[in-house]
Structure formats: structure tokens, C-alpha cells
Structure 1
């Protein structure tokens, strides 16, 4: 309506200007030229302002300028035009004689009023403003005649009545014209509304068509197979990927259940039933199954089923998206096979290590045991040298075997730290006592200096700490020809005493600066000459560093070539409550008098090992019984009730673990059972303890270790009694 109003006003402006020119001509002939020009300028100036303000209405509407702003602009334009007409009429009224001016001015005001009323519906605010201006102008002119021009009252009243009569006679015409105009406007508006609704419907239809094209394009070009199914699970549409994968066209599968064309011998009926029930219940579902192509080739699919409902909430159809996961299933199968192979390899490796440990330690037990027995015999100097050489060589070989087994366990993560509460100083003294003979053989001073604030009872793996110290101190003694090996023990954190720092300083050959970092690598020594001169596998320090790191610390080294080296060992060994009893220390119980009158049963299938144990125990005041397998050991326990049993793990008929479990089930007095085995893994120790054994000795066993184990066993059994 606003646009229509502005267009009509611009279109009718020429006619209005012509009327103003005619009025100016009348003034020219009835008054003078200057008065005519003033009147014409006032009228045309108002019209020009109106045209200027209305010139961009259409453009502003297209730019979506806010409608209230445009309405204000149109109101200002209408007021300007009305003021121009009012000025024109005022000049005409005051410049013409009374008789001629009144009808002429009344005609212009009536024309302006009629025009305003006709266009009232387009912009009510603007039109009411114009009507107000015209009404005020008419009243002002009558007042002007009455008081300024001093016309007779009767004349003014007659003119006013004539004005009202003319206005009244114009009302039917104006009313008729307004009705026609409003009808036309309403028709136009209805047409616009219908056109707008139609345009919106067309736009919505176009959007739906575009959306349908997009969706169909997605479905058609999707790499996954897409199947549309009706509520009875029958196929109503498939995409190109389905045809490419299976070989079936739409005409071949439409109206069929998927099982009729896709399923075969390897398809899972339970999965099919799951999807069928999901469609009937209108719920989503997911699963995997084996489908078949038209030629009978199987392939794995992952199916995601989604229901589609209509506007009333009824199930309209279901959409199944099938993704080919054949390669994924193949990789899963390969990974499962690889995992199984790795587990089998790990079990094989563990079994191999256990077998190697057992098979090597069994003959080593014979060699070391017999050499110990020979060393106690009355031999000549030359024969004693032979025996000592055998002992030293066998001990070196045993060290190598232990290093290789420990390194293998470290590599595959099987070596574990088993912390217990133990007496730290006793552990250090034991290591010193063990290493002192080696130092004395080379006339080296071996010293131990412990800090005053060193805790007594600490928490850690004392066995692994001994192993680290023996490796590092043994290396220091090996590579030192003269001087000393000094061990100092301190704590890094004096408040918590958690970090134990052990420094091993020697006066040996030293290590070149470029080789220090490589000393802790596996199979590494200072150089090839060192290997030939001193021997060894180069695993001791590598194992010690890894053990230290497992215990929350590390090993570092500094050295001066030809002067000596210093190895610093750090491990976490926090102090514990003094009331906690430390783990049993077998070597601290040398009271062999407690063995007198006791009965010891040896369960051992290897004749050499039986002979060695018999010789090791021949001087003890005990009764020694022999069993060659686990079954015989159980029977002798039942009949003889021994105090201590030396139980081998690997025996025919019944192994040591099964025999121990059978003995522990007997209602009689229980013996102290000591595992005596060539199986040296931690898992073997744990298996023995779980079976019911009390302690653990590994082959090859030394006489001292055997004596201490028996003494501890008799003492603990007496304490239990």
C-alpha cells in the first residue's frame, strides 16, 4: 500500500501542477504578476518536496529499510505538499475580491480534501495530517475574513454554510470512491496474500525437491549398501552400492525379505530374527552377519537399522545401512591368530627357559656338589688345585647361566620385584661375607661404611638388592689388581630415609670416558681385550641397572682410567616400623645342634643328585630316607612321619607339587618341606609356596646353604611344636 501510494502521488503530480498554474494565471489577471508567482512557487515547492522525499520509496523497500522509517518519510512529504496548497489558497483568498476568491479557494481546498480522503486508506497518518492542515487553513481564512478583512458577519456565515453544503454534497461521492478503492485494495491484498502463499508453497516444494534430490544423491552415491524395507521387512528400494556389492538389481529383490537373497549357510539366524523383530517393533538395531552375493560369495556386513515414522507416529519404513567389514574381520582374525601365536611363543619360551634352567642346573649340581665333596677330602696340593679350578669354573658357568636367565626374564617383563621387610645391615654384612673370599684371594681390602642414620628395617626386595650388590662388587674385585674396594651406604633423603645410596669405589684399571655410557648395555664390556682377559658375558651391569630401575632407582658410574671407578647404586627402600619382623634369614641360623635325632626325607629321582645330598649330609646326626618319585615320598611320609622333606619339583609318576599338596592333606603331624629344584624362576618359587612348601633351594646347592636350610627348618618346626 505504501508503494502504491508513492507511485500514485508521483504520477498525479503533473495534474496538480497544472491546476496550480491555472490558479496562478487567474491571479495574474485578477491581481498582479508578483502575487501569481508567489502563489505558484508556494504550491509547486510543496509538491517538489513531496516528489523528492518519495523518489526512493521503492528502492528503500527493496533494501528492506524498516517500514516505520518509510512511513515517517511519507508523512513529512504529505505535510509539505499540504502546506504548499494551503499557502497557494491563502494567497488566492487574500488577493482576490471576496466574491471571486471564495468559490475559487473553496474549489482548491475541496479538491485537496477529496484527494486526501480518497488516498486515506494507503497511509492514514499522512492523510489525517493533511486533512488537519486543510481544516485549520479553512477556519483560519474565515477568521481572517471576519476580523482582518472585516467582512459582514452575514457574508462570513453564508460562506461557511456554503462550505458545509458543498462538503456534504461531496460526501456520497467520496464515500463511493473510498468503497471502490477499499474493495480494489482488498482484492489486491487478497491476490498478494494468495500469491505469497503460492510462492511459499512453491518455495517449500522446491526445497523439498532439492532436499529429496540431495538425499537420493547421498543414498545413490553412498559406498555402503542402503536398503529400504516396509513394516513387513520386505525390500522396497536399494541403492547402487547394494547392486555393485551383491549383483542383485532392484527388480530382482523388491518385495522380498532380505534373507531370501542375502543369507546362506554361514549366516546367523539369531541376527536375522533380531533385525526382523526390530522392524516390527519400530526400534533401532545393530549387528554383524555373513551375507552372500548373487554368485554365492560370502562377505561380512555391519548392519545399522533405523525406523522411519509418518506424521501420525506409525511405522512407515525401515532403513538398513550395510557396511562391508570383511577386511576388518580378516584383520581381527589375523590379530587373534597373532595374539595366540605370541601367547604360545611366550609359553614356549617360558617352558624352554624352565627346561634349560632345569637341565643345566641338574648336571651343574653334580659338578659343584662333587667338587665340594672332593675339596673336603684329603687331597694333595696338585689335586686340590684341580678341584679348586673345577669349583671356580663351575661357579663362573653358574653365574653366566643365572645372568642369561635373568636377562631373558627382564626382556619379556617376567622378572618382578617382591618387596618384604628385611634387616638392611644384616643383608649388607651377608654380601660382604660372601664377597670377602674373592677379595682376599687377590689381597684386596674390602670395607663397608654405613651411615649412622641408616634405618634398621626397610621395605624392599632383599634378594634383588643382594644380586645387584654381588654383581657390582664382584665387577669391582674382578677389575682391581691391587688396592681396595670400598662400599659406603647412605640415604639420599634424610627425612624419610626412602632412597638408599650405595657407592662402590675401587682402585682398578678404570674405564675409558667414551665407554662409560656403554658399560650398562647388554653384552658390553670396556673393550675386547677386557673380555679376553677377565671373561664374563657383559650382562651383569645391564641386569643390575634394570633391577635398580624396577626398584625405583638407577646405577651411574664415574671413572678415571688407571686410577679406579665408582659405581653409585640408588634404590627405594623406605624404612618400616621396627615392630615388623624381617623375613627369615637362613644364613643367620647356623645352629646345627638342633638337627640331632631328626629324620630327613629326600625326594629326588636323579641318582647323582641323591648321591650328592647323601654325601653332604653324611656327617649330620640325622636319619636320611630316600624316595625316587613323588608317590613314594607320600607313602614314606605316611609311614615314617619325617621332620623335614627335601622335595624335588620334577619327578616321574607324581611331581613335587602334587606330592606336597597330598602331604598337606594328611591329618598327621606336618613336616617342614624344602623345595630342592633346578627350576630357578620366581614362578617356580611361587608355585612351590602355593602348593604348601615352606622354603626354596635352587640347584646347584652348596653345603652351607643346605646346612642352613635344614637348621632353619628344624628350628621353625620346633617353634611350631
Structure 2
């Protein structure tokens, strides 16, 4: 009902002006002209018939017949076109073209009336051999004058047709008066001209009067239409305001949210039913009282109350959350949204307060916060667990691998060498699995850092492939590398992570290929930022991956089939780590594969360009095992694990250096004063005092400082940062090989001698 009324109101509001436009537009006026011409066809035809009868009686029957034929035919043609035009206008055809044609039919109609009225002057001469009788033209002029008056009345409706008719009716009297063969005197000539001038002047004045009256009437009707529109608009606005007021009242009364009307003195004037459901207080209990008198909680934040008062003082909308109390004593959290409103003509200020119960949302938020804290605590516990397990596993692994290496260097028979090699290989496999788990944990915790630097791409690829070629040749596989001819040599990025990803992808391809080859193609395409997108494709002729498993192949601990894990081994972490590393470098890894044909892994990584001048090549120490540079070096080993102390002692047995051991950090601090070492191999996790605290104490002394190398089972980047921040010079993770230990000692021994010699 409301919608229909509103729609009807819109139609009424535009009907006055629309009606005026329809009546007085070019199309509207022409439509009225056409409709009028069609309507008065028979009266006009009767008028022509009367004139023809009069001519038949006054002149001759043949004159009457000719007159009605000519004038009636012209009238009929004009009327037929008017009917045609009326149908076109009803169909929506524009009137401009029809108006032009109506000018032609109007001109034809004017000539027809002229020839019909003047038939006594030419019919006798045309049908009789005798000379025509002299006839006074007054009759014909009067008929044409009447026709001119009628055409003048229609001028505002169809100007072209009216001009066409009036042109004929203006010229016709001159033709009638001056077509006679009789000779006129000067006075008769002047009288006729004067009469025609008066007639034409009267006609033109009449036309001017008609058009001015029409314009005045049109303007008056337009004014009335505008006034009517304003009245209808005002009435419609009043109705809409009433409807809107009723609608708002219904909405406010039946809304789920509490609605309060508060005056400028902070007194409640009205509340809806939801207020009672929300707070337990009825309308009579809250009327003319301040809301806070009933609703404020003892624990309500005073700052929240001050903000409410400040918002009302500044007369601006505000929204906030506040703790209130239900009538039954329950705590309820309300979200209040208050908007100031003024009365008519800037009268008294009041407020509309819309309040919503957010107690459940607050409780959910609290639960989410507790869940978040629990999750963070769980993440911290997982990190602590991984760090602890890394330390606890790497510590014995250091002894296992180290002792296995020492065992390999002794004289062993064939079976003993096999046993030693098996122990060392299994330990390294276990260490690789531990490293993968730690890498994945770092990625999950967002602790993997990307360290870009300038590097030689060709060297990076060659060294990575060289390390893997031995595995391929051991299985009888061909490992090929194809580089694009335009492949840039020097890039800026994290080459260590690139090597790690390539090692995983190519190593996987070799592991799952039993015969054939593994092919690595490397290409680069320029990017809009001035760098390149490196595309590496690793194609193998291995067992392939089922299509339904392609999406899950990059999940952790995932392989295409459980039988594959038993057949080829592996933890299923390599691809998961590789994809996460690629994503951390803003790249991606994709795969295509067919069972029995092989797989193709594509690595795409963005890099910036670098130049050869930007690359600093670090010297690679020669692994000769020469210990001459360690002669006379004083080394203190702070290590609480007996096996690791024994292992380091065996590693350094053939060196000419002074070696001293401390079982904890406190003992290490004491022995630094007495032993005065050049280098300290400092474990981090030790009883009594850890290595970090011991390092800080040593660094606080003013005496010459030794080089302190962290030799620890902690392998996280954060552990490295903490060690360096404590004052250590280097960070080496366990397990450590004899060669690696000698290289570290040699590098710091050389630096120590340079320092001592100045």
C-alpha cells in the first residue's frame, strides 16, 4: 500500500508539468492541430457545400458543381493526410517531417478554397463561348477572409500550414480585383488598394492578437502548472514525512537494539522495549532519570564516562563501549552510539542513544585473546623444545660423527671400514634430517632471514652441480646443465638459499630416477624493475608423480606414495622447505609430471643485477691439514660434555698447541686469568655459568682479550645473534669435523699473531 501510494505520488507530482509540456510542445501542438482538423472535417465540408449551393443559385449550377469539386477535393486531401498524421503521432513518430508535408497540403487547401470561391470568374469563360459576365469579387473576398481568420486561429498550432494558407488568402484578393479586363479609374484603383490594405492590416492585427493571447494563455497555464507542482510536492513531502515518522517509530519501538531519547539535561524521555529486555528496567523506572544512575557498574571505566560527557558537551556524535550492570546484577557490556539532534529552528539539544549488547562478543574476544596467548605460548614451547632437542641431539651426534671420523683414520680391516663408513653415513643422514626439521621450524616461525649479496651465478650453479654429480654417477645417471647464452653472470640475492633449493630439487630428481638422466636448464628473463626472473627447470626420467598427488607433494612429510618412502627413503621435507624458501624470496616452484615418464620442477626467483666490480670473492682456505700455524697457540676449551672434550682432544692431538679444559663457565672465567689463552672454544649451555655470561665477564676485563669461538649445539639464527651480541667472535655449530675445527683455529691464530706483532 505504501509503495503504491508513493509511486502514485510521484506520478501526480510530475503530471502538471508533463501535461503542460505535452500540450504546448511542438509535437503536442501539432497533435492538437491534427486532432482538430480531423474532428471538424464534416462541418468544414458542409460549409463548402453551402458556399457551392450559393454559387449555383447566384451564378449557375455548373459553377456550384465545379466549386464543390475543387474545394471539397482539397479539403478531402488535407483531411486524409491529417488522419494519416494522427496515426503516426500516436505511434510515436516525430512531428517535424509531418509538419512540412502539412504545409504542402495546407497550400493545396488554400488554392482549392481560392479556386472554389472564384469559380464564377473563370468557369463561365471555360465552359461557355460567350464572354463572361462582369461579377463583383466581394463574395469571393469575403469567403477568403473567413478562411484567413480560421487559418489565423490555427497559426500557434501549425505555423507552416497557416503561413501557406495565409499566403494564398493574402494574394488572392489582388488577383480577383485586378484580373478584370475593365479599365479602372484612378479613384477606383485607390479605393480597391486602400480596402485591401485595410483588410490585410486588420488580418495581421488579428493574427498578432491571436498569437499574443495564445502566448499569454500558455504562460498563465505554465504558472498554474508550476504552482500545482509545488502544492503537490509539498503535500507529497508532508505525506512522506508522516510515513517516515511512522516507519521510524515502528523501527525504534521494535528494534533489537536499545534506543533511548535523552534531553539536554541528560534525562531519559523515552526508551523502546528492547531497553527493558537488555537492562531489565522498565520505562517508568528510567523516565526522567539519568541512565548512569541505574546502569553504571562499580567497575565502569571513569574515562569512558568522561568521554560521554565530553561528547555531549561538544555536541558531536560518539561511539564507545562501556561496562554496565543489569537489574539482576549481571555484568553487561554495551556498545553505545549517541547522536545529537536539535529541535525545530535550532531549539533544545537532545540525544538519541542506540545501545547494543556486546557481552558475548567481549567474552569471545577474551577467549580469542586467551587462545592467542595459548597459541603463542605453544609456539614458544615448540621453539624451546626444538632448540632443546637440537642441542641435546647435536651434542651426542658430535661425539658419534667425530669418533667415527677418528675411527676411519685408524688401520682397519675391510669389515671394520664398512662398519665405520656405515656409522658415519647414518649419522650424517640423521644430521641432515635434524637440519631439515630445524629449517622448517624456522620457516614456520618466520625466523628464516634472506640475506642478499652480490654473487657469481655461473659459479653458484657449477659448484652446486659438482657436489651432486657424484651421486648421479654412482647411480649411472647423466647430469647435464644447459645455460641460456644470454644468462647474466652477476646477480644480487641470497645465493646460499638458491644453492639450498637447487640442492633439494636436483637431489630429489637423482634420488627418484633409476635410469636415464637429469637435466637442469637455466634461463633468465628481464623484469620491469630492471632485474631478472631466473627460471631453473629440473627435468628427470624418473618414476613420475600421479596427477592427484601434485598438489600435495609440497606438503611436509609428504611423498607421492608410502611405498616410495620405503623404496627410496627420505623424510618428505625437502620440497616443503624449498617451496617455503622460494616464497620467502618472492618466487615460486611448480611441477608437472607423468607416471613412468618423469617430472619437471620449475623454480622461478627474482634477482637484481650486479656487476663484477661489486663482488668480493672471499679466499677459500686450503684444506691441507697443515697444523704448523697452530704451533705455540694456547687454546682453552669450555665444555661440560666428557665425550666432546675427549673428541676435541683427539682432533688436536697431533698439533703443537697448549690445550686446557674447563667443565663450566665459571671454571672457564677462572682459567682465563691463570692460563691466558689465545683462543677460547666456548660451549653455550653449561652448568653453574653458561657460555654467554662467561663471555660477558671476560669481555668486561681490561686485559688483552682472547678470541672466543662459540662451539655449540644451538643452531638457530637467534642463537648466533645472541652469541655475537655477548662478545663472541665466531659461531660454529656442532657436530664439527676435525678439518673444520683446524680451519677455524688457523684463521683466528693468524689474526692473533697479526695483532700481537702490531
Q: Give the TM-score band, short-chain normalised.
A: 0.5 to 0.7
Q: Under a length normalisation based on structure 1, what TM-score does the superposition of the two structures give?
A: 0.65
Q: 1:252 to 1:189 in 2, by over 3 A?
A: farther
Deviation at 1:614, TM superposition (A): 4.8
Residue of 387, 395, 402 corresponding to 1:362: 395
Rate the CA distance shift 1:393–1:184 in 2: closer, same or farther, 3 A: closer
Q: Pick one of 608, 626, 629 that aligns with 1:594.
A: 629
What is the rounded CA distance, in whole Å, between the counterparts of 1:391 and 1:261 in structure 2? Answer: 84
Q: CA deviation at 1:571?
A: 12
Distance of 1:16 and 1:500 partners within structure 2: 98
Between 523-532 and 107-116, the greater mean CA deviation after superposition: 523-532
Unmatched segments (≥5 aa) in structure 1: 505-509
- Tell me which of 142, 148, 156 is aligned to 1:110: 142
Q: 2:695, 2:727 within 8 Å by CA — same for their partners in 1?
A: yes
Matches within 5 A, 1:398-437: 399-410=429-440, 413=443
1:36 and 2:69 equivalent? no
Could you tell me which of 176, 193, 216 is aligned with 2:222? Answer: 193
Structure 2: tracts of 5 or more residues without a match: 1-23, 126-130, 526-531
For residues 40-189 of structure 1, what are the structure 2 equivalents within 5 Å?
40-52=68-80, 79-92=107-120, 101-102=135-136, 105-107=137-139, 109-110=141-142, 112-113=144-145, 116-117=148-149, 120=152, 122-123=154-155, 130=165, 132-145=167-180, 148=181, 150=182, 153=185, 156=188, 160=192, 189=218
**Cα pair 2:481 2:521 within 8 Å, conserved:** no
Please state if 1:718 is matched with 2:729: no
Partner residue of 2:382?
Answer: 349
Distance 1:714 1:292 in 2: 73
Q: Aligned pair 1:670/2:705, yes or no? A: yes
Most deviating of 198-207 and 346-355: 198-207
Output the CA distance in 2 between the equivalents of 1:670 and 1:371: 35
Partners of 2:574 and 2:755 lie apart in 1 by 42
SS at match of 1:359: helix
- Once the two structures are TM-superposed, the CA of residue 512 in structure 1 deviates from its matched residue by 7.5
Q: Secondary structure at the match of 1:120?
A: helix
Distance 2:696 2:351 in 1: 63
Superposed counterparts of 1:224-623, under 5 Å:
265=300, 268-269=304-305, 272=308, 276=312, 279-280=315-316, 289-290=321-322, 298=332, 339-365=372-398, 393=423, 396-397=426-427, 399-410=429-440, 413=443, 522=557, 577=612, 582-583=617-618, 588=623, 590-607=625-642, 609-610=644-645, 612-614=647-649, 617=652, 620-623=655-658
In structure 2, what is the Cα distance between the partners aligned to 1:203 and 1:151?
Answer: 71
* Structure 1 residues 36 and 596: CA distance shift in structure 2, 3 A: closer
Shift, 1:407, TM fit? 3.0
- Listed one character per residue, the Cα deviations across residues 587-620 of structure 1 (whole Å, up to 9, x for unaligned) are 7263323333332222234455445545655665
Question: 1: distance between equivalents of 2:286 and 2:498?
Answer: 72
Range 222-231 or range 288-297, more displaced: 222-231
1:621-662 Cα distance to aligned partner (Å, 9 max, x none) = 433344443344345435653200010111245422233344
Which string of whole-angstrom CA distances, capped at 9 and with x for unpartnered residues, describes residues 648-695 of structure 1? 111245422233344344443221212122223444334334433333
Q: Could you tell me how far apart the structure 1 residues matched to 2:197 and 2:566 are?
A: 139
Q: Contact 2:638–2:681 (CA<8 Å) still a contact in 1?
A: yes
**Residues in 1 aligned to 2:290 and 2:397: alpha-carbon distance in whole angstroms:** 74
Change (3 A) 1:108 1:693: same
Deviations 1:233-291 (A, max 9, x none): 999999999999889999999999998999873694576468557754xxxx7866358
Q: For residues 685 and 44 of structure 2, what CA distance do their matches in structure 1 show?
A: 128
- The Cα of 1:84 is off from its aligned counterpart by 3.6
* Post-superposition offset of 1:164: 7.1
| C-alpha spacing 1:158/1:200, structure 2 compared with 1 (3 Å) | same
Q: How far does residue 41 in structure 1 lie from its aligned partner after superposition?
A: 2.8
Q: Which moved more, 1:610-619 or 1:214-223?
A: 214-223
Structure 1 pair 238–710 and aligned structure 2 pair: CA distance change class (3 A)? same
Aligned with 1:588: secondary structure?
Answer: coil
Q: Is the 8 A contact 2:460 2:495 kept in 1?
A: no
Measured against aligned partners, the alpha-carbon deviations of 1:394-416 in whole angstroms (never above 9, x if no partner) come to 76346424413423423662566
CA RMSD, 1 decimal: 7.1
- On the 8 A contact 2:151/2:166 being kept in 1, the answer is no
Using the TM superposition, give the Cα deviation of residue 467 of structure 1 relative to its aligned residue in structure 2, in angstroms: 12
CA 391–638 in structure 1, closer or farther in 2 if over 3 Å, else same: farther
Cα distance, 1:621–1:208 mapped onto 2, change above 3 Å = same
Structure 2 length normalisation: TM-score?
0.62
Inter-partner Cα distance in structure 2 for 1:335 and 1:48: 92
> Counterpart of 1:507?
none
1:633 aligns with 2:668: yes
| Matches of 1:571 and 1:15, distance apart in 2 | 94
The offset of 1:417, in angstroms, is 7.0
The secondary structure found in structure 1 opposite 2:658 is strand
